[in-house]
Amino acid sequence: MPGTAPLVEMKNIYKQFGGVHAVENVSIDLHPGEIVGVLGHNGAGKSCLMRILSGAMARTSGEIYVDGNKVDIATPIEARHLGIETIYQTLALADHLDAPANLFLGRELKTRYGTLDKKRMESEARKVLQRLNPNFRNITDSVRNMSGGQRQVIAIARAIYFNARILIMDEPVAALGPSETAMVADLMRHLRDEGIGIFLISHDMHDVFDLCDRVMVMKNGINVGMHPIDEVSRDDVLSLIILSKLPDDWQPRNQNGKAP
Amino acid sequence: MSDESRSAAEAERVELVRLTSDRRKDLVQKFSALASLIALIAAFGVTANAFFTVNNAMTVSLQTTSIAFLGIGVTVVIITGGIDLSVGAVLALAGTIAALLVKQGWPVPGAMVTGVLVGTLCGLLNGIVVTRLKLAPFIATLGMMLIARGTALQLTGAAPVSQLGAEFGVLGNGSLFRTLEMGANGLPRVVFPGIPYPVLLMVALAFVVAFVLGSLPIGRHIYAVGSNEEAARLSGIDVETTKMFAYGLSGTMAGITGIVLMSRLVTAQPNEGIMYELDAIAASVIGGASLMGGVGTISGTMIGAFVIGILRNGLNMNGVSSFIQQIIIGCVVIGTVYIDYLRNRR
């Protein structure tokens, strides 16, 4: 969405592990109502970059701005206060707890006596989970007894329940079947239309071209290309992922009239 | 019945089975521990005449308090995925310090509270070593076990601290609702032996800790940390503080055990409580706690403590030597953990 102020700007981000550069001088921005795909091989640094934004990992150097204000984001809690919610690839669920407990993990609803408000957490969880998947009934089972799809739905529900403004989704449909994948895609479009900005990490070209407004490709910790989606074809993106450059004769696809 | 309604009914039934499977497993675990407890009581009731008396019930309860106090604290640590091997030594240190303070002329309540706080301090030190130095809980608490025991022996010169006065023995030997009746021969006769204070304390603390685990956010965080520490951290839970709370609580419970135990003997023994940590861990595991973390309840631990306590008491009454008792308790621990393994095998 050109014209609007960026929701997030990450500028010149570096992350070093000893001598290894996991992320090297990467800058990226995200506008309200926009889905930006972050692509690259495993180990290209895309998860690392997103973990820095979600407060799960400290950056070596670089600056982050949210709504134009410089922010620190040293912990996941700080990220949450800024409206940044993350769906981790590992889902980050406590297996022995049930769905409501996981949904409200770290920000439990309390009664006025300071005790856990289990009833309200269960009814709220039931509402949000059934909105995502109407067949989801056994929410008070421990999540280790649930299917991959159900677990994924809990992780997604946890991110959207708390009115995120910035959503980081790391392989959100990896464990899902076709109908659930379609449901998540619909949900993402819906959230985008509400003005939420989404970073999508995915290996699935189909999803990326279906959903994203822009794509950024990373290789070996470096940003090798950031393009509006209608400017590149799937082959262009694959070329960026594998060779870290566009084909030699590349021209923006939308200017010479070829559809991607 | 039409096909549609039949399949709907079928789906509902499948759903119901799935819904209850989890809770049923918990029940099976609780039930297996509780059933063995009842079986033990029945067996000893038949084999030992004096087993089924109010007096003996109170004696068993009193003897079980130490295991229960320690077990409650250790269970909380085990739920976080840790272990606390130091509680047996910490109870000795807490008890001897309280006794030495009384010898110095401190009032008994003040000395006892200080003793408990020494336990808390030892627990918090365990927590610091685990969270700041990032050592494995086994190593951290093994170190504390040696440090606390050594300190207790050094402070007392390895000699018991005795002649502490009657007031020091009230907590351990007093009881509520003790009723006496004057007999015809002019001597008092005990109508009801009363509920010993340690038993009341055990029940109260069990309820308090069960409430903390089940109904307060910190309790939920304790389960979450043990279940998936990384997920807990990413969810914004302060993992370090949660662990500090668990180890601090375990140390406090060890301190309370020390005070109660030394009060019962009206003597502080620096060698008291050796191997008690293993009884506490056994009680916790018999009650369904998993050493992998994330699982465990106070009610289960109480059952586990009573299984061990009643086993000891009943075997004593039947004249079984303490060596054989160890063998039997060892078998019980392995047996119950095997049941736990069967329960979780999927």
**In this predicted model, what pLDDT tens digit does every residue of A66-101 receive, in sequence order?**
988 999 899 998 999 999 999 988 889 999 999 999
Name every residue whose Cβ is closer than 8 Å to that of residue A134 and which is 6 or more positions away in sequence: none
CB A199 within 8 A of CB A40: no
Question: Does residue A250 share a domain with residue A233?
Answer: yes
Q: Give the confidence band of B1 by pLDDT, cuts at 50, 70, 90.
A: very low
pTM of the model: 0.87
- Compute the nearest-CA separation of B137 from chain A (Å): 21
A19 three-state secondary structure: coil
Distance, first Cα to last Cα, chain A: 20
- pLDDT higher than 80, residue B64: yes
Residue B187 lies in a domain: no
Q: Find the range with the poorest average confidence among A17-31, A237-251, B17-31.
A: B17-31
DSSP A220: T
Q: How many domains does chain B have?
A: 1
Cα–Cα distance between B149 and B227 in angstroms, integer? 32
- pLDDT higher than 60, residue B20: no
Tens of pLDDT, residues B297-342: 999 999 999 999 998 888 888 888 989 988 988 888 888 778 767 7
- pLDDT higher than 90, residue B258: yes
Question: Does residue A230 share a domain with residue A106?
Answer: no
CB contact under 8 A, A86 and B234: yes
Q: Give the confidence band of A34 by pLDDT, cuts at 50, 70, 90.
A: very high
- Gyration radius (Cα) of chain A, Å: 19
ipTM of the complex, rounded to two decimals: 0.86
Nearest to B153, CA basis, from B275, B279, B268:
B268
CB contact under 8 A, A106 and B237: yes
Residue B340 lies in a domain: yes
Question: Does residue A172 share a domain with residue A155?
Answer: no
Which chain B residues are closer than 8 Å to A96 by Cβ?
Answer: 223, 226-227, 294-295
Q: Which two tokens stand for residue A169?
A: 């989704």
Question: Does residue A73 share a domain with residue A104?
Answer: no
Residue A90 lies in a domain: no
Cα–Cα distance between B11 and A117 in angstroms, integer? 31
Nearest to B310, CA basis, from B298, B296, B297, B328:
B328
Q: Find the range with the poorest average confidence among A126-135, A189-198, B119-128, B320-329.
A: A126-135
Q: How many domains does chain A have?
A: 2
Query: Torsion angle, CA of B333/B335/B336/B337, rounded to 10 degrees?
Result: 80
Could you tell me if A147 lies within 8 Å of chain B, comparing CB atoms?
A: no
CB contact under 8 A, A116 and B236: no
Nearest to A24, CA basis, from A221, A235, A239:
A221
Q: Find the range with the poorest average confidence among A230-234, B21-25, B78-82, B311-315.
A: B21-25
Report the pLDDT value the prediction gives residue B19, as an integer from 0 to 100: 47
A177 in the Ramachandran plot: left (φ > 0), alpha (ψ -120 to 50) or beta? beta
Residue A183 lies in a domain: no
CB contact under 8 A, B215 and A142: no
Question: Does residue A226 share a domain with residue A211?
Answer: yes
CB B305 within 8 A of CB B71: yes
Cα–Cα distance between B142 and A115 in angstroms, integer? 35
Q: For the range A255-258, what are the long-range contacts, defined as Cβ-Cβ under 8 Å and sequence gap of 24 or more?
A: A258/A233
CB A51 within 8 A of CB A87: no
Question: Does residue A260 share a domain with residue A141?
Answer: no
CATH code where residue B110 lies: 1.10.3470
Question: Does residue A241 share a domain with residue A217?
Answer: yes
Length of chain B: 346
Tens of pLDDT, residues A158-213: 888 888 899 999 888 777 778 778 888 888 898 899 889 999 998 888 888 889 99
Report the pLDDT value the prediction gives residue B84, as an integer from 0 to 100: 96
Q: Which residue of A has its CA nearest to B231?
A: A92
Cα–Cα distance between A94 and B133 in angstroms, integer? 25
Question: Does residue A221 share a domain with residue A142?
Answer: no
Report the pLDDT value the prediction gives residue A258, as an integer from 0 to 100: 47
> Containing H/E element for A16?
strand A8-17
- pLDDT higher than 60, residue B344: yes
Question: Does residue A173 share a domain with residue A260?
Answer: yes
- Side-chain-side CA neighbours of residue A144 (13 Å): 14
CB contact under 8 A, A101 and B224: yes
Residue B191 lies in a domain: no
Cα–Cα distance between B124 and B116 in angstroms, integer? 12
Averaged pLDDT for residues B226-247:
94
User: Shortest CB distance from A80 goes to which of B18, B236, B295?
Assistant: B236
Cα–Cα distance between B257 and B67 in angstroms, integer? 9
Answer with the one of A111, A127, A162 that is the final residue of a domain: A162
Give the range of the structural domain holding residue B116, as residue numbers without chain letter.
30-175+199-344
Give the range of the structural domain holding residue A216, as residue numbers without chain letter.
1-83+163-178+189-260
Could you tell me if B232 lies within 8 Å of chain A, comparing CB atoms?
A: yes
Q: Which two tokens stand for residue A217?
A: 């490709």
Residue B48 lies in a domain: yes
Residue B125 lies in a domain: yes
More confident residue, B232 or B7: B232
In b/e form, how buried is each residue of B150-163, taking b as 16+ CB within 10 angstroms?
A: ebbbebbeeeebee
Residue B15 lies in a domain: no
Q: Give the confidence band of B237 by pLDDT, cuts at 50, 70, 90.
A: very high
Q: Which two tokens stand for residue A139?
A: 């929410």
Nearest to B19, CA basis, from A146, A254, A50:
A146
Residue B71 lies in a domain: yes
Q: Which two tokens stand for residue B284?
A: 């916790």
More confident residue, B309 or B176: B309
CATH code where residue A65 lies: 3.40.50.300
Question: Does residue A56 share a domain with residue A39?
Answer: yes
- pLDDT higher than 80, residue B78: yes
Give the β-pairing of A214-219 and A222-228: antiparallel
- pLDDT higher than 90, residue B232: yes
Could you tell me if A127 lies within 8 Å of chain B, comparing CB atoms?
A: no
Cα–Cα distance between A104 and B235 in angstroms, integer? 9
Q: Give the confidence band of B343 by pLDDT, cuts at 50, 70, 90.
A: low
Nearest to B221, CA basis, from B126, B79, B22:
B79
CA–chain centroid gap for A23, Å, is: 18
DSSP A82-130: TTEEEE-TTTT--TTSBHHHHHTTTS--B-TTSSB-HHHHHHHHHHHHH
What φ, ψ does residue A71 adopt, rounded to 5°?
-130, 165
Question: Does residue A44 share a domain with residue A157?
Answer: no
Q: Which two tokens stand for residue B204?
A: 């109260």
Which chain A residues are closer than 8 Å to B340 by Cβ?
Answer: none
Question: Does residue A103 share a domain with residue A215?
Answer: no
Residue B78 lies in a domain: yes
Tens of pLDDT, residues B185-225: 777 777 777 888 999 999 999 999 999 999 999 999 999 99
